[in-house]
Structure 1
Amino acid sequence: MKEWEVQEEVAARQGITIRRRPPTGPALHYVGPFEFRLNNEGNTPRNILEEIIWHKDVEVSQWKAKKPLVVLKKALGSAPPARDFIGALRAAQQRTGLPGLIAEVKKASPSRGVLREDFNPVEIAKAYEKGGAACLSVLTDEKYFQGSFENLEAIRKAGVKCPLLCKEFIVEAWQLFYARTKGADAVLLIAGVLSDLDIKYMTKICKMLGLTALVEVHNEREMDRVLGIEGIELVGINNRDLETFTVDISNTRKLLDARRTEIIREKGIIVVGESGLFTPADIAYAQEAGVKAVLVGESLIKQPDPAKGITNLFGKDISV
C-alpha cells in the first residue's frame, strides 16, 4: 500500500470524507473544470471541497518544483516579523465587549460567484482596519476564489497593521513556509481535510515559524477530534457545510455544548464563529453561544464602504 493510501485509510477512520487526491491514480482526460478518468467514478470529485483539494494537491506539487523548501527557508530571513494574531483578537474583545473581528478580503467564492467587481485588496484591507477589524483574512486560492498570494503580500507591504490570516487550502507543510515568506501571521487548517497527525505536525511547524493556526471544524466529530489535540489555541466553527455549502448558524451553538465549553475554558482556546453572520442579531447569537471572535466575509465585502459595513454588522462603531 502506498503512503498516501495509508494516509487516506487513517483519515477515513477519523471520519474524514474528503479524499486528498483521486484514489485510482492520475487523471487521463480533461473534461470541464477538472481532469479525471472518464472510465472510473472514483476519479470524479464528490463535492466542491474535494474538487478544490484535488486541484490544490496538483498545484502545490508544481509550486514545490519551482520553489523547493530549501529556497523558502532562506527566504524566511527577509520575511516581515510575525504579529500576534490571537493577542489582537483578545485586545479587540476586551476593548469593545464584542467578538474580535477577522474581516475577510475575498473577491469570489464557488457558491456565490464574484462578490465584488471593483476589487482592490489593499483599499479593502485599509477600510476594514479603519472600521475596527482586529485581524484580516486574505483569500489566496486563485482558481476557485480569485485570490492570490500577491494580494496577501501587497496588503502586508501597504502598512496595514492588522495581523493577516492566509486563507488557503493547506494540504502540505510546504505551504506554511510559503505563507510565512509572503507575510502571513496565521494560516487556516481544515479538520475536514487533515488527519489528527497532520494537524499535530502542522501546528508544531506553525509554532516554529511564529504562525498562529486557526483550526476549522464544521461538525461535532471534528470538534471532538480537535479538542483532543494538545496545543490548539484557536478553533473556528464553520456554519457552512463544507461539502454542500449550505449555512446554518445554529451549528455554532450545537458544537458549543456544556461539555465542550468546559474543555475550551480549561485549555484557554478562543473559538471563532464563521459563515452566515450578517446582522447584529447574528453576532449576538454567536457571542451568546460562546465565541470570542468572528470571521466575516460576504456581508462586508459587498458593502460600498466596508468600514461602514462593520458598523452595521455590529450595530455600533467598534473602531473607537
Structure 2
Amino acid sequence: MTILDEINNNKRREVAEAKKLVSLEQLKFSPFFKRKINSLKTTLKAAGASGIIAEYKTKSPSKGVINEQAEVVEVSSAYTAAGVSGISILTDRQYFGGAFEDLAKARSANPTTPILRKDFMLDPYQVYEAKAHGADLILLIAASLSKEEMLELSETAKELDLEVLVEVHTEEEIEKLNSLVDIVGVNNRNLKTFEVDLETSVKLGSLLPQDMVRISESGLSSVENIHYLCQAGFDGFLMGENFMKTENPGQACKEFIELLRK
C-alpha cells in the first residue's frame, strides 16, 4: 500500500464521520455559500500576473513538520500583499496539519484572492464542505480517482460555481480529464515515491491542449525554475514549502515575486 492509498483510506473514514455530524443542508447555511467566487483561471491569465499560488501548510508526509509557528491570517494576508495569483490552503489535518478553520480564516482575511481547498477529494460531500468554508476552487488528484469519479466531482463543483483544478503526474492520468476542468496542475512529485523531477511538467505540459490553463506543482524553489516553466507554456506555479520553511513566509514570498519581476 502506498502513502496515497493510506491517505485516501483514512479520508474515506473521515468523510463518513463528517456526514454523520453535518448534513449537506447544514453546509448550505454557511455564510460563505452565497458569495461570488474569485476565479484563479482569470487571475493567472491577467496582464502582469505573478502566476504564484502560495501555499499555507505546516507539515507534510514527505518533510514532516515544516512550520508550526506560522499563523494563517498573517501568512495568507502577506501572500496577497506580495502579489500572488492565488492561495492554497491545506485542510487535511492528519497528514498536513490543516484545518477547515484555516480555510475560513484565510477567506475572511482575503476576500478577493482566489483560494484553493487542497485536500484529497473523493466524495461530492467534500465539494460542499469546500464551498461552505470559503474555497473558490477544489483540487482533484487524478491518481486517486477514476474518470467517472472525476466527472462526478467536477459536475458537483460546477453546480456550486467552483472552479476545478486537476492534478496529474502521468500520461495515463491526462486521459481522465473532462471538459469541466478549468486548470490542470502537473505534480512534479511522484505521490507514490515522493521523488521530484521538474521535467515531469515539461513532458506532460506538452501533451495538454494548447488553450488549457496549466500550473506546475512541487519542487519549485528558484526564479530560474519559474522562467524555465514559463517558456514551457505554464501559467502558474504552486509553491508551499519554499515559503513556509522560512521564519516569515509572507516576506519570503514578497522577495521571490520581486525577483521574478526584475
TM-score normalised over the length of structure 1 = 0.77
* 2:187 match: 238
Instruction: Indicate if the aligned counterparts of 1:79 and 1:183 stay in contact, CA closer than 8 A.
Output: no
* 2:93 match: 142
* 2:81 match: 130
CA displacement at 1:139 relative to structure 2: 0.3
Partner of 1:187, secondary structure, is strand
Distance 1:315 1:130, change over 3 A: closer
Pairing 1:85–2:40 present: yes
* 2:235 match: 292
Instruction: Indicate if the aligned counterparts of 1:102 and 1:293 stay in contact, CA closer than 8 A.
Output: yes
Q: Give % identity.
A: 35
CA displacement at 1:148 relative to structure 2: 0.2
Partner of 2:8, secondary structure, is helix
For 1:221 and 1:136, how far apart are their aligned partners in 2? 28
Superimposed CA distance per residue, residues 111-165 of structure 1 (whole angstroms, 9 cap, x where no aligned partner) = 1011113120110101111111111000000000011000000111224531110
* 1:309 match: 252
Partner of 1:316, secondary structure, is helix
Q: How does 1:93-104 map to 2 (within 5 A)?
A: 94-96=47-49, 100-104=51-55
For 1:248 and 1:77, how far apart are their aligned partners in 2? 38
Distance 1:183 1:207, change over 3 A: same
For 2:119 and 2:168, how far apart are their aligned partners in 1? 15
CA displacement at 1:195 relative to structure 2: 0.9
Superimposed CA distance per residue, residues 167-221 of structure 1 (whole angstroms, 9 cap, x where no aligned partner) = 0110100000011011110110010011111111111111111111100001111
Partner of 1:171, secondary structure, is coil
Partner of 1:178, secondary structure, is helix
For 1:224 and 1:289, how far apart are their aligned partners in 2? 21
The structure showing larger relative contact order (alpha-carbon pairs under 8 Å, at least 6 residues apart) is: 2
CA displacement at 1:254 relative to structure 2: 1.4
Structure 1 residue identity aligned to 2:129: Y
Identify unmatched segments of 5+ residues in structure 1: 1-45
* 2:17 match: 62
Superimposed CA distance per residue, residues 69-125 of structure 1 (whole angstroms, 9 cap, x where no aligned partner) = 23223447754332222112212xx214x5x11100111101101111312011010
Query: 137, 151, 158: which is aligned to 1:186?
Result: 137
Partner of 2:231, secondary structure, is helix
Q: Determine which structure has more spread, i.e. the larger CA radius of gyration.
A: 1
* 1:151 match: 102
CA displacement at 1:314 relative to structure 2: 4.6
* 2:112 match: 161
* 2:201 match: 252
CA displacement at 1:308 relative to structure 2: 3.5
Pairing 1:118–2:73 present: no
Query: 265, 272, 282: which is aligned to 2:215?
Result: 272
For 1:317 and 1:281, how far apart are their aligned partners in 2? 9
Instruction: Indicate if the aligned counterparts of 2:150 and 2:176 stay in contact, CA closer than 8 A.
Output: no
TM-score normalised over the length of structure 2 = 0.93
For 1:252 and 1:315, how far apart are their aligned partners in 2? 24
Structure 2 residue identity aligned to 1:276: G
Distance 1:191 1:134, change over 3 A: same
* 2:5 match: 50
Identify unmatched segments of 5+ residues in structure 2: none
Aligned length: 262
For 2:32 and 2:125, how far apart are their aligned partners in 1? 16
CA displacement at 1:312 relative to structure 2: 4.5
Instruction: Indicate if the aligned counterparts of 1:164 and 1:186 stay in contact, CA closer than 8 A.
Output: yes
Distance 1:77 1:161, change over 3 A: closer
